[in-house]
Amino acid sequence: GAGVSQSPSNKVTEKGKDVELRCDPISGHTALYWYRQSLGQGLEFLIYFQGNSAPDKSGLPSDRFSAERTGGSVSTLTIQRTQQEDSAVYLCASRNTPGNTIYFGEGSWLTVV
């Protein structure tokens, strides 16, 4: 597609359930990023992929969070046993290394009730 595509755009889930968030980067972009933005806050780095590998997973807030990327394209961020504090917008971005501009998707708005 023309831009970074994320799904679902909105998700309301019950506390304790697992959720999967999907990111489809711009075609050919090798670098992929996940960020989290809580209401009125800045962007918290979660994980970065270069191709299928994730050089640094230290941004993931707990072991309930995991992410994978297959085929150097689509990435999935999984949150297990969701908690209310997980409620946020999860933003995905991609870059064509060695390109410069990093493009963001529209985000997945997660609400845990």
* Binding interface with other proteins (CB under 8 A): 31, 33, 35, 41-43, 45, 48, 50, 55-56, 58-59, 91, 93, 97, 100-107
Q: Which is nearer to other proteins, 42 or 71 (CB)?
A: 42
Interatomic CA distance for residues 75 and 72, integer angstroms:
8
Instruction: Kindly state the tokens that stand for 113.
Output: 């009730």
Q: Which is nearer to other proteins, 9 or 83 (CB)?
A: 9
Q: Which is nearer to other proteins, 1 or 42 (CB)?
A: 42
Residue 105 beta carbon to other proteins: minimum distance, rounded to whole angstroms = 6
What residues contact 30, with CB distance under 8 A and at least 6 apart?
50, 51, 72, 95, 96, 97
For residue 79, list its beta bridge partners.
19, 65
Place of tokens 């970074």: 4
Residue 40 beta carbon to other proteins: minimum distance, rounded to whole angstroms = 9
